[in-house]
Structure 1
Amino acid sequence: MSSSADKVSHNVYFDGKVQSLGIETEKGPATVGVMKKGTYVFNTSSLETMVVISGNMSTKVSGGDWLTHKKGEPFEVAAHTSFEVMCATDVAYICYYS
């Protein structure tokens, strides 16, 4: 019999346009997700390190400049921060939480 701790969490945002699965990695808790083409706003509760797996993603953290992140390029978003994400195409990513 499995417990809820053994199950993969499934998160759905923005009417299903952003979805992620929670996993445990050697770096700690993480989500692997997809975003459909569009613009989204997220809030962080902990430090997040994101890595684009497929596609390109642009981000703007708390009123800063738009920065483009390509496949394989990690970037960090500080805890307790609001950030915008713009995807010109569908994007896959992994996000590590600290």
Structure 2
Amino acid sequence: MSSSDNISHNVYFDGKVQSLGIETEKGPATVGVMKKGTYVFNTSSLETMVIISGTMSTKVKGGDWLTHRKDDAFEIAAHTSFEVNCATDVAYICYYS
């Protein structure tokens, strides 16, 4: 197996957020989990997140809190900082453009 075939494993916030990097038909993506809690993320590219399980709210700087549940999809613009509040443990897939 070449290094490009490896699955990347990302760990954030003392292990409370973890994801595995994969290639999909839509391009690069991560499949991950977040424990109940509040986190701040920064994007470098457009992200499309799909909630697989659980409930989370997001707030882009200057915006309102928006709630996302199982099967919801939403986009976060490139070069944006946003807050995430997970009311429950959350599973998601995030596509990068």
- TM bin, normalised by shorter chain, reads over 0.9
SS of 1:15's partner is helix
Deviations, residues 33-80 of structure 1 (Å, cap 9, x unaligned): 000000000000000000000001100011210000011110000000
The runs of at least 4 consecutive aligned structure 1 residues that moved more than 2 Å come to none
Equivalent residue pairs, number: 97
Residue 15 of structure 1 corresponds to 14
Q: Percent of pairs identical after alignment?
A: 87
* TM-score w.r.t. length of structure 2: 0.98
Instruction: Provide the rounded CA distance (Å) in 2 between the counterparts of 1:31 and 1:81.
Output: 18
Summarize the alignment of residues 62-77 of structure 1 with structure 2, pairs less than 5 Å apart. Answer: 62-77=61-76
Summarize the alignment of residues 46-65 of structure 1 with structure 2, pairs less than 5 Å apart. Answer: 46-65=45-64
Which residues of structure 1 form unaligned runs of 5+? Answer: none
Which residues of structure 2 form unaligned runs of 5+? Answer: none
* TM-score w.r.t. length of structure 1: 0.97
Instruction: Provide the rounded CA distance (Å) in 2 between the counterparts of 1:93 and 1:35.
Output: 8
Instruction: Provide the rounded CA distance (Å) in 2 between the counterparts of 1:76 and 1:57.
Output: 14
Q: What RMSD, in angstroms, separates the aligned Cα atoms of the two structures? A: 0.5
Instruction: Provide the rounded CA distance (Å) in 2 between the counterparts of 1:84 and 1:96.
Output: 18
Instruction: Provide the rounded CA distance (Å) in 1 between the counterparts of 2:14 and 2:62.
Output: 25
Residue 33 of structure 2 corresponds to 34
Summarize the alignment of residues 76-87 of structure 1 with structure 2, pairs less than 5 Å apart. Answer: 76-87=75-86
